Amino acid sequence: MKNDCLFCAIAAGEIPGRKAYEDDKCLAFYDIAPQAPVHFLVIPKEHIASVAGIDDTNSAVVAHIFEVISRLTKELGIESYRVVSNIGEQAGQSVPHLHFHVLSGRDMTWPPG
């Protein structure tokens, strides 16, 4: 756990989040400012700053997170959705702990803004 990291604190249960799923490696919780009718985030419990911090020592958790996204969306009855990860300030990353947004329930545009 990294000190002063909001999502490490949520993963540790120190700050509450509305949980969608949890296991020993990851946590899914609903975004506090939803951008779609369904909007949750999936994070590794270990601190990784962003996609740019993934390497061969920690990439297994990313495969696990995508398995969780595939299973959880099915359990929630979601068939069409978007998975987004912002990396760095210009791309819109505001929390420097790896997270995958899962957005669903409305028409979406491409390219994203």
Q: Which residues bind ligand 5GP (CB under 6 A)?
A: 6, 17, 29-33, 86, 92-95
Query: CB-wise, 17 or 44, nearer to ligand 5GP?
Result: 17
Task: Return the closest-CA partner of residue 17 out of 35, 3, 33.
Answer: 33
Helix, strand and coil percent figures for the chain, each rounded to 5: 20, 20, 55
Residue 64 interaction partner, one of Zn ion, ligand 5GP, none, beta carbon < 5-8 Å per kind: none
> Of the two residues 42 and 56, which places its CB atom closer to ligand 5GP in the complex?
42
Least CB distance to Zn ion at residue 35 (A) = 22
Catalytic (active site) residue 99: yes
Which amino acid appears at position 58 of this protein? N
Q: Does 97 bind Zn ion (CB under 5 A)?
A: yes
Query: What's the closest the beta carbon of residue 70 comes to ligand 5GP, in angstroms?
Result: 21
For ligand 5GP, which is the closer residue by CB, 92 or 105? 92
- Tokens read off for 85: 């990860």
Nearest in space to 61 (alpha carbons), one of 102, 97, 94, 20: 97
Under 8 Å between Cβ of 69 and 102: yes
**Residue reference for tokens 């949750």:** 40
- Report, as residue numbers or ranges, the catalytic residues: 99
Residues that bind Zn ion (CB under 5 A): 2, 5, 7-8, 47, 97
